[in-house]
Amino acid sequence: MSYHADEKGYYGEFGGAFIPEMLYPNCEELRQNYIQIMEEPSFKQEFQQLLKDYVGRPTPLYFAKRLSEKFNTKIYLKREDLCHTGAHKVNNTIGQILMAKKLGKHRIIAETGAGQHGVATATVCALMGIECVVYMGEIDIARQAPNVARMKMLGAEVRAAKSGSKTLKDATNEAIRDWINNPVDTHYIIGSVVGPHPYPDMVARFQSVISEEIKSQLLEKEDRENPDYVVACVGGGSNAAGAFYHYLDTPEVGIIAVEAAGKGIHSGESAATSALGKVGIIHGSKTLLMQTADGQITEPYSISAGLDYPGVGPMHAHLYKSGRGEFISITDDEAMQAGLELCKLEGIIPAIESSHALAIFEDRKFKEDDVVVVNLSGRGDKDLQNYIDYFKL
Ligand SMILES: *Cc1c(COP(=O)(O)O)cnc(C)c1O
């Protein structure tokens, strides 16, 4: 069985491109060119140079000694929290801005929920001197003021989506409308392994630098390229796709995807997509998503803004359905405790998204000599207020 996208962007039964007719030329142009461009030596050279000098790659693979002792197994942390802008997201936005330039585009649009992807996009647009418009729900603009300020400082225009629930899905609709109206000069930077083909595959390839580095770093530290398990949290699934990528076809490596159970899987306030999701179409892709009996998308909930997404990328839907991936859901409370524990044991303040991945060790037991790599997708600076409120600091 293949765990990579086929010619038409399918992972098993999931994926594809379910888009309005008017969007077809845009996606088609990208589809016809993306692999060829990514393989051009000049593209690779510039991408790798920027990952090194601008993002700060390779990020360390850190043996977490005290955490390992506590859970009686060997835990390594892949330190994506040390990337410029504080998370893995910039790996993808750098890749896509270079792609946009190769395609002759001189305007970038994006949509953002909590603002992290908006900031990563505004950052690379500033780097390249390219016009940037970020769509964001009016409600999200009000509750994510620091990220709105960051985007503005970086020179982006933040446009409010005022329709519907005034959150992410409305911002997505506005971005798509913009792209339809500006098919020639504009590239739409999607922030995770979601959206119509070729986005999930393209974003996974850009993020695959994570597992490429894990392989060589583990070889150096453990004299083997393959861990026993690789663990990552899943919102849309891009940090997980990057951490899993070079292990997908290596069955000896267990793949563990961690979703947000919010206040409990069956509480009505969760984002545990694989557990609760049914097949449906979101953001131009056929995948598992949380929906009502008559197919309306359910409003997701998680204490972590980055995991608060009603669907999951098609690669992950396939990993779940095929049994290749083990899926675990973690509640808000479990994640917050695990986040605080990492602070105390290792001196690292993790993003609340990443804290979900760290929380599995309480219940999921590993053997003493198992090598478990956890992708630490981001740092906790952005979540400080959440930590303060939760722990009454
Ligand atoms: C955005 C974000 C996520 C969730 O996005 P994925 O596409 O699932 O990786 C996870 N961790 C951090 C730190 C994020 O900023």
Tell me the per-residue pLDDT of 4-20, one tens digit each, with 9 for 90 and over.
Answer: 999 999 999 999 999 99
233 lines ligand 1 (CB under 6 A): yes
Are β-strands 14-15 and 10-11 bridged in parallel, bridged antiparallel, or unpaired?
antiparallel
Same fold, 11-50+89-203 and 57-87+208-391: yes
CA separation for the pair 330, 317 (Å, rounded): 18
What is the rounded CA–CA span in Å between residue 126 and residue 149? 14
Tokens for 157, please give them.
């225009």
Task: Encode pLDDT of 80-118 as tens digits.
Answer: 999 999 999 999 999 999 999 999 999 999 999 999 999
Per cent of the chain over pLDDT 90 is: 95
Q: Which atom of ligand 1 is nearest to the CA of 354?
A: 11
Question: Phi and psi of 236, rounded to 5°?
Answer: -80, -35
Give how far Cα 192 sits from Cα of 8, 161, 207, 306, 311, Å: 18, 20, 10, 10, 11
Is the beta carbon of 234 within 6 A of some atom in ligand 1? yes
pLDDT, residue 56, reads 98
Phi and psi dihedrals of 331, rounded to 5?
Answer: -80, 165
Strand order, beta sheet including 229-233: 61-63, 74-79, 371-376, 229-233, 254-262, 325-331
Q: Is the peptide bond before 198 cis (omega within 30 degrees of 0)?
A: yes
Q: What is the pLDDT of residue 27?
A: 96
How far is Cα 20 from Cα 111, in angstroms, rounded to an integer? Answer: 18
* Topology annotation, domain 57-87+208-391: Rossmann fold (3.40.50)
Answer yes or no: is the C-beta of 144 below 6 A from any ligand 1 atom. Answer: no
Q: So what's the pLDDT on residue 169? A: 86
Minimum CA distance residue for ligand 1 atom 13: 378
Instruction: Give the mean pLDDT of 128-151.
Output: 96
Q: Tell me what pLDDT residue 142 has.
A: 93
pLDDT at 299 over 90: no
Give 204 Cα–ligand 1 centroid separation in angstroms.
Answer: 13
Question: Mean pLDDT across the stretch 216-236?
Answer: 98
Those residues whose C-beta lies under 8 Å from the C-beta of residue 49, and which sit 6 or more positions away, are: none
**pLDDT confidence band for 323 (50 / 70 / 90):** very high
Give the tens place of pLDDT for each residue, 162-201: 998 898 989 999 999 999 999 999 999 999 999 999 999 9
Determine how many CB atoms are found less than 10 A away from the CB of residue 62. Answer: 18
| Average pLDDT of span 48-73 | 98
Report which ligand 1 atom has the smallest distance to the Cα of 235.
Answer: 8
Q: Is the domain 11-50+89-203 a CATH 3.40.50.2000 member?
A: no
Among 387, 378, 392, 386, CA closest to 84? 378
Rounded CA separation 369/83 (Å): 29
Rounded to whole angstroms, how far apart are CA atoms 351 and 54?
21
Q: Which atom of ligand 1 is nearest to the CA of 81?
A: 13
Catalytic residues: 89, 111, 377
Query: Is the CB of residue 78 less than 8 Å from the CB of residue 135?
Result: no
User: pLDDT digits over 235-258, tens only?
Assistant: 999 999 999 999 999 999 999 999
**Ligand 1 center from residue 207 Cα (angstroms):** 12
What's the length of the chain?
Answer: 393
To test ligand 1's pocket by mutation, which of 147, 194, 211, 238 has the most ligand atoms within 8 angstroms of CB? 238
CA atoms within a 13 Å half-sphere pointing along the CA-CB vector of 378: 29
Parse the chain into domains and list their residue ranges. Answer: 11-50+89-203, 57-87+208-391
Please tell me the distance between residue 21's alpha carbon and the centre of ligand 1 in angstroms: 30
**pLDDT score recorded for residue 269:** 96
Atom of ligand 1 nearest to the CA of 117: 1
Distance CA 374, CA 63 (A): 10
Q: To the nearest 10°, report the CA torsion of 335, 370, 236, 128.
A: 100
